[in-house]
Amino acid sequence: MAVEERDPVSGQKTTGHEWNGIKELDTAVPLGVLIFIVVTHLWALVWWILMPTWPLITTHTRGILNTDQRKIVEQDLVAAQAQRAAWMKAIETGTFEEIQANEDLMKVVRSTGHQLFGDNCAACHGADGKGRANYPDLTDDDWLWGGGPEKIAETLRLGINSRHQNTRVAQMPAFGRDAMLDRTQVTNVATYVQSLSNPAASTPQNVAQIQAGREVFLTTCAACHGEDGKGNREVGAPNLTDQFWVYGGDLQTLINTIHGGRQGHMPTWDERLTPAEIKILSLYVNSLGVEKP
Ligand code: HEC
Ligand code: HEC
């Protein structure tokens, strides 16, 4: 039995225990801690009475408020499904114009479309739809195959150079590799194409080259890209006079494109997505270009 002992410095009683020469003062539990313990115990008691708490053998105490989280979740789910069914039907049956005019439906389009885009399209076009080298930017409102939800829906259904029997076909021939143009002609026409969107690329030194390139362009390229180079959405030939490039507008990339050709591939979404999902994505992609979020 420890003898009652006082700490010589503070004059407090000690507990009498000793650990390696260290002794503990025998002080009361601080009032704040005591109040905390009492209040939390009372709170627990009240909670046991009000809420479901103690497990019994086959059931549990239900509490006088009779709340049931599982039931609440079930009710929420039913409500959410009913709401989803309502807007799904509106999207399935509405025309693009009707949906676009309905701000509530467009909110659904933006959130559901964003999710569908992330799941199916972001791998190629980027999470923000801005594309990257070899994959077009979908937010620039500059279209290879035409903007607006109808055209975009068609692109999604058919795909581009895809397995779909009516696929959109994008064939930029390999003029150099297939020996339709010689090396000089390829360089000349690339220089001409570069000058279309970049006035700084035309200098007094290369006027003759650009002129020769223009001749090649008019005989060889204009059938698809147009005499003015502004492209043709019927064949997916890009506008070559603007700042938007799928592959790149610098001279070396232009030479590579004209030498080796380009055939972009985009899968058909006809079987993978429902018609309603294609509709939502078309409106969503269209909004990326038009609304500039
Ligand atoms: C495997 C890669 C890949 C995936 C996945 C993909 N795309 Fe594409 N997409 C492309 C390529 C490549 C092109 C350009 C093809 C060409 O050369 O014309 C393209 C073109 C498009 C175009 C036409 C752009 C224009 O300027 O006319 C749209 C619209 C489009 N994609 C939307 C989508 C949507 C929506 C999805 C998701 C459902 C998607 N893409 C998934 C590769 C892909
Ligand atoms: C048969 C039609 C056709 C002809 C002829 C044609 N093109 Fe193209 N061109 C296309 C198509 C389609 C694409 C898009 C290919 C893709 O992305 O799948 C394209 C893409 C390009 C691009 C890439 C643009 C970018 O955004 O990066 C350049 C540059 C280009 N063509 C230049 C030329 C030049 C120069 C000629 C003539 C020597 C030419 N094309 C002749 C159909 C054609």
Asked if residue 54 belongs to a domain, the reply is no
Residue-level pLDDT at 149: 95
Are 246 and 238 in contact, with CB atoms under 8 Å apart? yes
Confidence of residue 12 (pLDDT cuts 50, 70, 90): confident
Q: Are residues 153 and 277 in the same domain?
A: yes
Band (pLDDT 50/70/90 cuts) for residue 2 is low
Can you tell me which atom of ligand 1 is nearest the CA of 272? 38
Spatial separation of the C-alpha atoms in residues 290 and 293, rounded to whole Å = 9
Kindly state whether residues 282 and 157 are assigned to the same domain: yes
Q: List pLDDT tens digits, range 254-267.
A: 999 999 999 999 99
Structural domain includes residue 42: no
Q: Which atom of ligand 2 is nearest to the CA of 248?
A: 27
Residue 167 maps to a domain: no
Same domain, 252 and 284: no
Q: Is 50 exceeded by the pLDDT of residue 100?
A: yes
Does residue 75 lie in a domain region? no
Note the pLDDT of residue 3: 65
On whether both 243 and 274 belong to a single domain, the answer is no
Cα–Cα distances (Å) from 153 to 84, 99, 279, in that order, read 22, 14, 6
**216 and 154 inside one domain:** no
Same domain, 115 and 232: no
Give strand ranges (E) for the chain.
14-19, 22-25
Q: Whose CA is nearest to atom 41 of ligand 2?
A: 221
Count up the domains in the chain and report the number.
Answer: 2
Q: Which ligand minimizes its atom distance to the CA of 231? A: 2
Residue 248 and residue 274 share a domain: no
Indicate whether 279 and 240 sit together in one domain. no
Pocket, ligand 2, Cβ cutoff 6 A = 170-173, 175, 189, 193, 220-221, 223-225, 235-238, 240, 245-248, 254, 257-258, 262-264
Q: With 0.85 as the threshold, say if the pTM is over it.
A: no
Statement to judge: residues 242 and 280 lie in one domain: no
Q: Residue 292 pLDDT > 60, yes or no?
A: no
By C-alpha distance, which of 249, 266, 105 is closest to 170?
266
Is 124 among the domain residues? yes
- pLDDT above 90 (res 160): yes
Question: Ligand 1 centroid vs 171 CA: distance in angstroms?
Answer: 15
Point out the ligand 2 atom lying closest to the alpha carbon of residue 264: 18
Is residue 93 assigned to a domain?
yes
Measured CA angle at 235 (ends 121, 137), to 5 deg: 30
pLDDT class for 4, splitting at 50, 70, 90?
confident
Average confidence (pLDDT) over 206-215: 96
**Could you tell me if 195 and 254 lie in one domain?**
yes
4-18, 94-108, 141-155, 243-257: range with lowest mean pLDDT: 4-18
Residue 230: CATH number of its domain:
1.10.760.10
Please give the C-alpha separations between residue 225 and each of 91, 119, 128, 232, 238, in angstroms, as whole numbers: 36, 33, 28, 6, 7
Q: Whose CA is nearest to atom 31 of ligand 1?
A: 266
- Residue 268 identity (one-letter amino acid): T
**Residue pair 102/109 in contact by the 8 Å Cβ criterion:** no
Mean pLDDT to the nearest integer, 169-189:
97
Looking at the domain assignment, is residue 149 inside a domain? yes
Say whether both 119 and 235 belong to one domain.
no
Q: What value does the mean pLDDT take over residues 150-169?
A: 96
Q: What average pLDDT does the structure give for the chain?
A: 93
Evaluate whether residue 241 is within a structural domain: yes
Residue 275 has pLDDT above 70, yes or no: yes
Residue 293 pLDDT class (50, 70, 90 cuts): very low
Query: Which ligand ends up closest to the CA of 282?
Result: 1
Average pLDDT estimate for 75-88? 91
Pocket of ligand 1 (CB under 6 A): 120-121, 123-125, 135-136, 138, 143-145, 152, 155-156, 160, 170, 236, 264-267, 269, 281, 285
Enclosing domain of residue 211: 183-260
Q: Residues 211, 233: one domain? A: yes
- Using DSSP, how many helices (H) and how many strands (E) does the chain show? 11, 2
Closest listed ligand to the CA of 137: 1
pLDDT at 209 over 70: yes
CA distance 163 to 157: 11
